Amino acid sequence: MAIFNKVLSQLKESDAYYNEVVKAGEGWMRIIRTGERFRIVDIEGNQAVDTTFFDAKDPEDHYDAVLTIRKQRNIYLSTGTILYARSGGALFTIVADTCGRHDTLGGACSAQSNTIRYSRDIEYMHSCRDTFMLRLAEYEGDFAFQKRDICPNINFFMNVPVTQEGGLKFDDGVSAPGYYVEMKAERDAIVLISNCPQLNNPCNAYNPTPIRLLIWKA
């Protein structure tokens, strides 16, 4: 089932207290406080932004893709989608979205998945899983993240259709320059992003590009 629930935000970029660009292939990790609005902007279009979430007070209560899909009864995410933690509580709600559809089935690229999907000789290419591990290791909060804490993620702006046979395809993106997705934090939560470096599938037209991240006070 596809959804295209495009809704514009009423917030102005000039009012955001945080406004930064994350280069292609790099990561980002930060706490978003309850009630704050968080926006990811696809600056050049069709960039895949691998993103996951943790409860800031109990990081073991992380984003749950299966629960999010089951409660929404939809495999794609858009305006109105609640992003659930494994405990059953809400982490974020998507409140605005100009792309209209985001994937939470395809997972994050890794050395292992790149080898299986493409070729043995690209095993050592940089991947989103590498970025996740690096950012988790560098985190300076009270919780000591480990490799085992990598959890299911959302691929914002990525187009991953499900075939009639139940398989997944990685198709050209459905985003465009300047498209964005905006979320409201339902609790203090840690956001972990890998701005995907993937060069081997058409999710970003084989050309990883930067993204912009903005945060507004509650």
CA distance 66 to 145: 22
Among residues 184, 185, 179, which one has the least CA distance to residue 211? 179
pLDDT on residue 126: 62
pLDDT on residue 108: 77
Q: In terms of C-beta density within 10 A (0-12 exposed, 13-18 middle, 19 or more buried), how is residue 86 classed?
A: middle
pLDDT on residue 120: 61
Angle 127-97-110 from CA coordinates, rounded to 5°: 10
CA distance 195 to 140: 21
Tens digit of pLDDT at every position of the chain (218 positions): 445 678 999 999 999 999 999 999 999 999 999 999 999 999 999 899 999 999 999 999 999 999 999 999 999 999 999 999 999 999 999 999 999 999 999 887 755 655 556 556 665 666 888 999 999 999 988 899 988 899 999 999 988 777 777 777 767 778 999 999 999 999 999 999 999 877 666 667 778 999 999 999 99
Residue ranges of E strands in the chain = 18-22, 27-32, 37-42, 49-55, 76-77, 82-84, 90-97, 102-103, 154-156, 179-185, 189-195, 211-216
Single-letter code of the amino acid located at 122: I
Angle 75-4-175 from CA coordinates, rounded to 5°: 95
Where in the chain are the domains? Answer: 17-216
